[in-house]
Structure 1
Amino acid sequence: MTDAATPTPSEEAVSADAFRLLRADIVSGALQAGSRLRFVELQARYGIGTSPLREALSRLAADRLVVQEVNRGFRVPPISMADFEDIATLRITLERQAIEASTRAGDEAWEEGVVLAHHRLRRLGRQEQAPEEDAVPEEWEMRHRAFHNALIAACGSPWTLHFCAVLHDQFDRYRRLAGRDPAAQVTLAQQHEELLDAAIARDAERAGRVLAAHIDLTRKTVVERLKRLM
């Protein structure tokens, strides 16, 4: 006998869709920082009912991608330079540990996954150069994230992977708001090549050092651009 309180697969799927759509729109900036997340507007935007939206918002609040206020509902977190610096520092620490562990422990399948993810990212970069400095295709964003995920996939710690994913979402919310810096992008792309080389060579120390520099360069670029926008 099925427990009446247990969500049906269809309800779970709708809630998962709501979570995915809301998360993507918050990280991309489609839902603006500090804006109220009103159920009527979200229902119209996504065509999803109140219950799965509420569940999705509660999940996002647990990852601090949404702020839940007593008797005032939900909103997108505001922008804070101190918050971003904290996120960047923690991301460097955790992701550096993860890539070092992954480089040491990764098997042949892991290595092939890294090579493929990098090839897909580099290939898209050659074929779809954005005409405007801030116009970055969503496909590039997905392939960029896939490459970074592949690098740390063999770290051996599901909790580390979870928190790395949360920090990456938080970091990307600021990065995407700041927009693309063509000058910095040249160095960042070179660092992707260095990360691939270090992974294949199983040089964990070098991989960690390059990744830390990669994230920190992005941090500096984001801070400089946001100061001009704020």
Structure 2
Amino acid sequence: MADAASAPVTEEAVSADAFRLLRADIISGALQAGSRLRFIELQARYGIGTSPLREALSRLAADRLVLQEVNRGFRVPPISLKDFSDIAALRVDLESKAIESSVAHGDESWEEGVVLAHHRLRRLGRVEAEPEGDTVPEEWETRHRAFHNALIAACGSPWTLHFCAVLHDQFDRYRRLAGRDPVVQVRLAQQHEELLDAAIGRDAVRAGKVLAAHIELTATAVLERLERMA
């Protein structure tokens, strides 16, 4: 049997890597809002050929993380406060319903997943030193997203999960650009605890209300900081 390490890398796998790298750099702001995505620059940045990059950009354009313009190629979407407000409102509506369904129908395995995801997020918050400036460690971002994903994982609708993920990506692009507010961050961490309590207490209505308030608080802080930056 051939060694897996020596197996040829397929174009599909390369395209998936390109998608993952581009998506991460757009959400984190490493690729700036409004900037052109030129193939020669992307090839140099990622060491990936034109064909898989084009496929990855087309996938990202389908989720509106990239804009594809006729005869002008691709670019990162510009920042729009109106656009962010729309994203936040949609996320509140869809995700609060998703968590209500998830809390109502999740089994023991789902509950264990929520508890573990929350523990990993809270544990990182305890052991990480306060980051300098407005940024947070990438590992915190990963665990934070995992906790939110775990909360809605048992909603029973793959389409809902897909659209929640798309909206979360869009939301996080603005949130990470705005940076963090230490005062607001304390309340957001408290709401994580409240979300856990509502989830394991099987209080679907409360879970929906807390999650809606959590997203709205974040959105308000992001809008205020972006307006000051503007």
Output the TM-score relative to the length of structure 2. Answer: 0.96
- 1:142 is matched with 142
Match of 1:118 in 2: 118
Q: How does 1:55-204 map to 2 (within 5 A)?
A: 55-204=55-204
SS in 2 for 1:30: coil
1:97-128: CA deviation from partner (whole Å, max 9, x where unpaired)? 10000000000000000000000000000111
Return the alpha-carbon distance in structure 2 between the equivalents of residues 169 and 108 of structure 1: 28
The aligned amino acid for 2:122 is: R
Amino acid at match of 1:175: R
The letter of the residue matching 1:227 is E
Q: Among all aligned residue pairs of Structure 1 and Structure 2, give the percentage whose two residues are the same amino acid.
A: 83
Please say if residues 88 and 215 of structure 1, whose CA atoms lie closer than 8 Å, have aligned partners that are also in contact. yes
Distance 1:215 1:9 in 2: 40
1:20 matched residue in structure 2: 20
* Contact 2:131/2:137 (<8 A) preserved: no
Partner residue of 1:39?
Answer: 39
Structure 1 gaps, min length 5: 1-7
Separation in structure 2 between the aligned mates of residue 127 and residue 101 of structure 1, nearest angstrom: 33
Distance 2:129 2:78 in 1: 31
- Give me the TM-score of the superposition, normalised by structure 1: 0.96
Q: Is the 8 A contact 1:130 1:137 kept in 2?
A: no
Give 1:4's aligned residue: none
Q: Is the 8 A contact 1:133 1:181 kept in 2?
A: no
Counterpart in the other structure of 1:214: 214
**Is the 8 Å Cα contact of residues 114 and 151 (structure 1) preserved in structure 2?**
yes
Q: Matched residue of 1:48: which SS?
A: coil
Paired with 1:111 and 1:48, the residues of 2 have a C-alpha distance of 40
Deviations 1:164-204 (A, max 9, x none): 00000000000000001100000000000000000000000
Q: What is the CA-CA distance between 1:131 and the residue it aligns to?
A: 3.4
Structure 2 portions without partners, runs of 5+: 1-7
The structural deviation recorded for 1:129 is 2.9
Q: What is the identity, as a one-letter code, of the residue corresponding to 1:169?
A: D
What per-residue deviation string (whole Å, max 9, x for no partner) do you get for residues 133-166 of structure 1?
A: 4120000000000000000000000000000000
1:132 positional shift: 1.9
Measured in 2, the distance between the counterparts of 1:44 and 1:130 equals 34
Q: Which residue in the other structure is 2:30 paired with?
A: 30
Aligned counterpart, 1:52: 52
The Cα of 1:9 is off from its aligned counterpart by 6.8
What is the rounded CA distance, in whole Å, between the counterparts of 2:144 and 2:131 in structure 1?
19
Report the 3-state secondary structure (helix = DSSP H, G, I; strand = E; otherwise coil) of the residue aligned with 1:65: coil
Name the Cα RMSD after superposition.
0.9
Distance between the aligned counterparts of 1:85 and 1:129, measured in 2? 32
Aligned residues: 223
